[in-house]
Amino acid sequence: MNTVVVRCAGCRQLSRVAAEAVGLEVVCPRCAVTFVARPESAPDDPPFVRRTDPTQVPVVHPRTTKPINWDAPPAPPEPEVERIPPTGGLIAIALLPFGIPLLWLLASAVINRPVVMSFAVPVALAVGVTGLGFGIAYVTRWSVATRVKALVVLLLVAYLAAGFLFVVKKEWLQSLRRAFPRGENDWQKFPIEPTKKPPLIGYSVEFPAGEEVREVRPPFPGEWKAFECKDAKQTDNYATAVGRLPGIKLGTEDDPWFKAMGEAIRAAAPARAAEPKETPVSLRDRAVINPPPPIPGREFHFTRPDDILWHRVVRVYRVKDDAIIMAVEGPNLTPDAADVVHFLESVRVLAKFR
């Protein structure tokens, strides 16, 4: 095979090509630059010849067998893509997500079942999807058919998401919060000193550490002492109160006593709170040797139908004729959360008052 020595236009190194490849585009085996093969006379510089001996360089083959016509006119530029402005039909399709809130209201009226999510959820979904729809409609480099397909897919996803949010159950959200619990607080011991008039007892509780504990006025009649404290994130409120309702006779049995306290706690609940779930509880001392009898109590769990994330957990303990009330309120908490349980069970009543 007859070969011809050529020089790369990029790295300026020599290569051999077939004689038939002269005038065609070839690829340099060293730097991969494409260049037109033109015969190169052997240089007179002996060191350069020894370093780039044509017999030692590889043979490169032409990239194409079609000779280059250097006299041909330049290729015409690629035509610009026609930019098609959004049509009225595209705008109408982009506005279809606003049917989600309307269907939400209609389904709520037809189905006799409380909806966990508030009406703000479908409204926010409709506004967000409509914004995305307008963005697709104004992509003028896309054809009208492509934009219609994208809008239809977006609408299907939006309506399916709205249907799922409509049928979601409260238990699912509670399970999700348990699967991803919040970080626990550090705690500080806070003593409540006894007084010479009711309430007579003294005890201590543990509030979130590093936050200010302030005395407040409780929403109960009679003589009470109450204190509250925010958590580190300033979202949840922790409170305790000790006192005695004036209408309860001394020595009343537990059932009527807790019934009267439950009525007072319900009366102090927010106006939008639903009927609480009442559960019997008890407070046990951590002493290992000769622990005192457990302190009886009741737990009340308040929720709001219009706000599924809000919770208030209240425990009332009976110590003789006085009541110790522990309450936690805030969004995104559950009655069995670690912080809630720790605070509600952190009550330590002085031994002489038990």
Radius of gyration for the alpha carbons in the chain, expressed in angstroms and rounded:
41
pLDDT digits (tens, 9 = 90+) for 227-244: 999 887 778 899 999 988
Out of 57-71, 111-125, 335-349, which region has the weakest mean confidence (pLDDT)?
57-71
User: Cα–Cα distance between 352 and 354 in angstroms, integer?
Assistant: 6
Structural domains in the chain, CATH included, are 3-60 (no CATH), 88-168 (no CATH), 187-353 (3.40.1000.10)
* Contact present, 329 and 311 (Cβ < 8 Å): yes
pLDDT digits (tens, 9 = 90+) for 71-124: 777 777 766 656 777 788 889 999 999 999 999 999 988 887 778 788 899 999
For helices 144-167 and 99-110, what crossing angle results, to 10°? 30
For helices 99-110 and 120-137, what crossing angle results, to 10°? 150
Beta bridge partners of 227: 215, 240
Residues 6+ apart with CB under 8 A from 68: 23, 24, 25, 36
Least Cα distance to 347 among 318, 324, 331 occurs for 324
Out of 3-7, 39-43, 64-68, which region has the weakest mean confidence (pLDDT)?
64-68
Residue 117 is encoded by which pair of tokens? Answer: 């999510």
The mean per-residue pLDDT over the stretch 327-338 comes to 83
The mean per-residue pLDDT over the stretch 307-316 comes to 84
pTM attached to this predicted model: 0.51
* Contact present, 272 and 306 (Cβ < 8 Å): yes
Percent of the chain residues topping a pLDDT of 90:
22
Using pLDDT thresholds of 50, 70 and 90, give the confidence band for residue 315: very high
- Most confident listed range (47-51, 53-57, 265-269, 331-335): 265-269
**Residue 82's pLDDT is what?**
66
Sign, Cα dihedral of 193, 194, 195, 196: negative
| 3-state class (DSSP) for residue 156 | helix
E strand intervals along 178-236: 187-192, 203-208, 214-216, 224-230
